[in-house]
Structure 1
Amino acid sequence: MPDFEFETKAGVFENQTVCGVDEAGRGPLSGPVVAAAVILNPENIPDGLNDSKALSHSSRERLLNILEGCAQIGIGIAEPGEIDRLNILWASMIAMRRAIENLRITVDCALIDGNRVPPELKCDAHAIVKGDAKSLSIAAASIVAKVTRDRLMAEADQRFPGYGWAGHKGYPTKAHREAVERLGRSPVHRWTFGR
């Protein structure tokens, strides 16, 4: 289970502002990559925070509602066109940087899920492999990013029916691939997914 040790080492109890950062949507064939940056209040951390992959849909939704009331949240998005132009890795890095920049307050340190730190950050940053299972702030960011992206894909499902995005969220399921064969690619698809 994640804990608050990385945040403590980064100085959260010494007046340092620390955020956790994670993204959702690196593997799908369609839709954006969405990153979230979350600053937790050390005196009001919601119970049940965990890697979003370890939580049910209803738990993620419930925790996002709680986080919106007790944490600072920034969202960063890289659209399919950017993913095609830059590649998914660099689009993810840009989405993470945007998420940090979209926080209402400046951070001193960002804890980044993964093995890379986005370039051009205006704060100290540390990459933490499997950080969403180790750091409460990154776990919170994983929940925010996942729920936000899932909602965007449900909206896309309404705009471009037939692809089934509300169910598979753009991941390369058999049903999704068959829908692309039948309907062609939509404006929400990543043109580079077959490369």
Structure 2
Amino acid sequence: MKTAGVDEAGRGPLVGSVVAAAVILDPENPIEGLNDSKKLSEKKREKLFIEIQEKALAWAVAEASAAEIDELNILQASLLAMRRAVEKLGLQPAHVLVDGNKIPQGLSVSCDAVVGGDAIHPEISAASILAKVSRDREMAELDRLYPQFGFAKHKGYPTKAHFDAIAEHGVIAEHRRSFGPVRKALEQMEGGAAG
């Protein structure tokens, strides 16, 4: 039975897309060292990222944009990105395992949510690595466009450095306007402009 593992990266940051991945591993071609992406070094994740793409029977990465996050909310946008990743797979899985406690709506296959699944099921671990590396690369790209924000370092998370950059440089199009700190910064900017 071909089982797809699904996970996402980037629910907590204030900027950019939420990225999801779906992976169907090949039991004949195992991958050593799969684990929750957060427990792996960046170097190890990059190495596994390539290996997963080479050895998996099928893999796909999809996202929901900052605008979609603002429109739907972060949970629904994460589930949407997950559904898109499953739908992009070149192979139809017989079953889907999703990291977390919620299942994307609208999937045409059976699905289970597994809390902490990225540390238990290798196919979810593989998906977590693809999602995390893809999201980090997106942040590196954003860092090249807006070096003053330091996205390559903090990856868009709500750190002091990020707050300081927003205070100094304002909000960019990729910021999630529905997130409290961004909304607050926009209100202060508008208040300052009005005054």
Deviation (angstroms), 1:161? 2.2
- State the number of aligned residues: 180
Q: Residue 42 of structure 1: which of 27, 48, 52 is its match? A: 27
Larger radius of gyration: 2
- Render the CA deviation track for 1:102-156: whole Å, top value 9, x for unaligned: 1111111100000011000011100000000110000000000000000001001
Q: Which has the higher helix share?
A: 2
1:92 maps to 2:66: no
Aligned positions of 1:155-194 closer than 5 A: 155-194=141-180
Identity of paired residues, percent?
53
1:60 maps to 2:45: yes
Whole-Å Cα distance in 2 between the matches of residues 61 and 77 of structure 1? Answer: 19
Whole-Å Cα distance in 2 between the matches of residues 76 and 98 of structure 1? Answer: 6
Whole-Å Cα distance in 2 between the matches of residues 159 and 102 of structure 1? Answer: 28
1:115 maps to 2:96: no
Amino acid at match of 2:55: C
Residue 32 of structure 1 corresponds to: 17
Residue 73 of structure 1 corresponds to: 59
- SS of the equivalent of 1:162 reads helix
- Render the CA deviation track for 1:19-70: whole Å, top value 9, x for unaligned: 0000000000101100000000011121000000100000000001111111
Output the aligned Cα RMSD. Answer: 0.8
Whole-Å Cα distance in 1 between the matches of residues 29 and 91 of structure 2? Answer: 18
TM-score (norm 1): 0.91
Aligned positions of 1:130-169 closer than 5 A: 130-169=116-155
Gaps of 5+ in 2: 184-195
Gaps of 5+ in 1: 1-15
Residue 190 of structure 2 corresponds to: none
Whole-Å Cα distance in 1 between the matches of residues 178 and 140 of structure 2? Answer: 22
Amino acid at match of 2:7: D
Amino acid at match of 2:54: G
